[in-house]
Amino acid sequence: MELNPWGSETIKDYDKLTKEFGIERMPQIGVDNHYFRRGIIFGHREFDKFWADYKAGKKVSILTGIMPSGPMHLGHKMVVDQCAFYQGLGIKTHVLIADIEARTTRGISKEEAERLALEEYLPNWIALGLDPKKADIYAQSNRSIPYYSFYSLLSGRVTFNEMQAVYGDITPGKMTSALVQMGDILHLQLPDYDGPHRVLVPVGADQDPHIRLARGFAEKLGLEKPAATFHRFASGLDGGKMSSSKPASHIALNDSPEVAVKKSVDVLTGGRNTAAEQKKLGGKIDECVVYELYAYHFIQDDKELAEIYRKCTKGEMLCGECKQILKKKVEKFMSDLAKKREKAKKQVEKMELFR
237 in contact with ligand SF4 (CB under 6 A): no
Q: Smallest Cα–Cα separation from 175: which of 194, 193, 162?
A: 162
Residue 140 vs 264, nearer CB to ligand TRP: 140
DSSP string over 280-309: HH---GGG-HHHHHIIIII---HHHHHHHH
291 in contact with ligand SF4 (CB under 6 A): yes
SS3 21: helix
- Judged by the rule CB under 6 A, the positions of this chain that interact with ligand TRP are 5, 63-67, 96, 98, 101, 181, 184-185, 201, 203
Determine the residue with CB nearest ligand TRP: 65
Paired sense of beta strands 227-231 and 41-45, if any: antiparallel
- Minimum CB–partner distance for residue 345 and ligand TRP (Å): 22
Residue 206 vs 255, nearer CB to ligand TRP: 206
Q: Which does 181 bind (CB under 5 to 8 A by kind): ligand SF4, ligand TRP, none?
A: ligand TRP
Q: Which does 124 bind (CB under 5 to 8 A by kind): ligand TRP, ligand SF4, none?
A: none
Q: How many Cβ atoms from other residues are within 10 Å of residue 277's Cβ?
A: 12
Site string for ligand SF4, 264-283 (x = CB under 6 A): -----xxx-----------x
Q: Which does 203 bind (CB under 5 to 8 A by kind): ligand TRP, ligand SF4, none?
A: ligand TRP
Residue 60 vs 261, nearer CB to ligand SF4: 261
CA dihedral 27, 31, 34, 35 (to 10 degrees): -50
H-helix segments, the chain:
14-21, 34-37, 47-55, 74-88, 99-106, 110-115, 122-127, 145-155, 160-167, 172-187, 208-221, 257-265, 275-281, 289-293, 302-313, 319-349
How far, in Å, CA of 328 to CA of 346, rounded? 28
295 in contact with ligand SF4 (CB under 6 A): no
Q: Candidates 3, 62, 288, 348: give the one binding ligand SF4 (CB under 6 A).
A: 288
Task: Give residues in contact with ligand SF4 (CB under 6 A).
Answer: 269-271, 283, 285, 288, 290-291, 312, 317, 319, 322
